[in-house]
Chains A and B, each alone.
Chain A
């Protein structure tokens, strides 16, 4: 179980992006670092070999110098014997004096090499056996031209030869060392170059591999997620994505869930719309019933009351008045039913929106209202009105209601005036108002003005069913607009409608 967990967590797809990044960068980096290290160590090896070569050369120089000093001493002693020149004795002493530190240095420099030390040791007795001091003493003692001390000279030559041979051996040993050490330095350099080239190649290959790995495991999947996000934004179905537990996988999962949620909401919305449609159909059939079933009994009440009126000879005045009241009540209820139905139709009717010449429309409606009551002397003022976007027939009903209202409620006023005008646009909405100087209303009840069958005046004071402003409100609302009113008792009223620009009606 744990092992499987671990294996699962170590699956490449499940490794988090941070570690994926580390790995992807690490793949080319690692060989490069190793290369750098190897290169450095080879370099050191080469340097060390170079140091040894230099040392060998130094030793060889010292050996040469030693030989020179030995020869100088010999020449000094022999020269003095031949010429009795004291200069020669000084040269002998100088060479002999310089020989001591030179040999000491040589011992110092070859102390790590036992074979050379052994050879050096052989030089001791040979040097000591040289009778140079004796030759000089002989020369001092004997007058010039006397026969040379042949035995001394012979010993000196033999020693000198031994010394030369030893030095020659040592030179040859150093030469051999020089060859191996030079080879060693060259080999180290060559290997360093090879390691560097190899490391670069491996690092480069690692880089290519890492890039492929990144492309395959991250870039492509991020691309998939991005294209799925776009599909989601367009409302299309999502394509299946590889399951994984890194950040990309999390993103893909979240996207999947968002898609599912969206689909769910969509289905829910559809269900709601379906329900609304069903409710609307029900309302439709209800309206139909009201229209048919409620009007029929009303007609019957009025009809039979009317038939009864014809035979009213038996009735007194009071009885006939009751009959009239019955008929009036039935008629009024018929009116209410009709108004309610037209109101409901106004809410359901399809809208046909276009640019509407509001000025002409309002002028026409004013003309209509005037014709309805030709005896009224109302002073109408219509300011220039801008074109608006909406359903012409509905807007006509709205203004018909507003203007008829204005005419109605200015009834008791001596000099009635009605003004239709506009206010500056607010948030792109066109505001049109209808102002009258009629009986007005109490602002306390302003919120009731636009309700169905809400009235602020007694029915016998002003006729009407109270559907007019409700219709105005509904029409403006369906245009995406807003209605409100201002007024005061006996100081007139102003009704405002705000119609938004094209595209917001619905």
Chain B
């Protein structure tokens, strides 16, 4: 069953957050299914399989965990492009962010985010949040049929 799992894409610029997220997902046995990109531009490269990601295995990730605030292209812009593209719009996008700003939340849902999770300060809460999100989208949720990009 695990062999069938598609990949989780984590777009996050903070190395610490990447490490903590991986640690949380690691408890779920999902470690080897995580791809990490460090900003919005890289995330789009990954999704469109261009430049550094031209050679990756085709297919959309099972879920995209998207940080809001990133260098170069920010999370909202990535979200806007994904939801505006026929081939990518079915990818479940979970906004995973520190921001409690109402504006960000409303904007994200307007652009078509599937979920909005505020990273809790407390690690225990953070772990369970990431685990639930990762587990739900990567394991429980029935993915849409493959319509790969590129």
Contact = CB atoms under 8 A, between A and B. Distances in A.
Interface of A: 287-288, 291-293, 295-296, 298-300, 302-307, 327, 330-331, 333-335, 338, 341, 345
B102 interface: yes
A302 B101 contact: no
Contacts of A327: 122-123
A338 B100 CA distance: 9
Given A299-B121, A331-B122, A304 B16 contact: yes
Contacts of B121: 295, 298-299, 302, 330-331, 333-335
A299 B98 contact: yes
Interface in B65-120: 68-69, 97-102, 119-120
Nearest to B118: A295
Given A293-B98, A300-B20, 19 more contacts: A288-B99, A292-B68, A292-B98, A296-B16, A299-B20, A299-B119, A300-B16, A303-B16, A303-B20, A306-B123, A306-B124, A307-B123, A327-B122, A327-B123, A330-B121, A330-B122, A333-B121, A338-B100, A345-B102
- Report the contact-size class of chain B (Cβ under 8 Å from the partner): 20 to 34
20 contacts: A288-B101, A291-B101, A292-B68, A292-B99, A293-B98, A295-B98, A295-B119, A295-B121, A296-B98, A298-B121, A299-B17, A299-B120, A302-B123, A303-B16, A303-B23, A303-B123, A304-B16, A327-B122, A330-B121, A334-B120
Interface in B35-91: 68-69
A299 B101 contact: no
Contacts of B123: 299, 302-303, 305-307, 327
A327 to B, nearest CB: 7
A288 B121 CA distance: 16
Nearest to A328: B122
Given A296-B17, A299-B20, A299-B119, A291 B98 contact: yes
Contacts of A304: 16, 20
A305 to B, nearest CB: 7
B145 to A, nearest CB: 36
A299 B23 contact: no
B128 interface: no
* A-B residue pairs, 8 tightest by C-beta: A334-B121, A306-B123, A300-B16, A303-B20, A303-B123, A295-B98, A292-B98, A302-B123
A338 B17 CA distance: 19
Contacts of B126: 299, 302-303
A296 B14 contact: yes
**Residue in B16, B97, B123 with the greatest tally of chain A CB atoms within 10 Å:** B123
Interface of B: 14, 16-17, 20, 23, 68-69, 97-102, 119-124, 126-127
B100 to A, nearest CB: 6
Nearest to A295: B98
A292 B97 contact: yes
A225 to B, nearest CB: 51
A307 B123 CA distance: 9
Contacts of B101: 287-288, 291
B94 to A, nearest CB: 17
A335 B125 CA distance: 14
B122 to A, nearest CB: 5
A352 to B, nearest CB: 14
A300 B98 CA distance: 12
Nearest to A297: B16
Contacts of A305: 123
B50 to A, nearest CB: 29
A263 B12 CA distance: 52
A299 B126 CA distance: 8
Nearest to A300: B16
A303 B24 CA distance: 10
A334 B122 CA distance: 8
Nearest to A349: B102
Given A303-B123, A306-B124, A292 B20 contact: no
A302 B97 CA distance: 16
A471 to B, nearest CB: 16
A304 B101 CA distance: 26
Contact of A307 (B23, B68, B97, B100): B23
A292 B121 CA distance: 11
A195 to B, nearest CB: 94
A465 B124 CA distance: 22
A335 B23 CA distance: 24
A393 to B, nearest CB: 13
Contacts of A307: 20, 23, 123
Contacts of B23: 303, 307
A305 B16 CA distance: 12
**Residue in A305, A331, A334, A341 with the greatest tally of chain B CB atoms within 10 Å:** A331
Contact of A302 (B98, B99, B100, B122): B122
Nearest to A332: B121
A302 B20 CA distance: 10
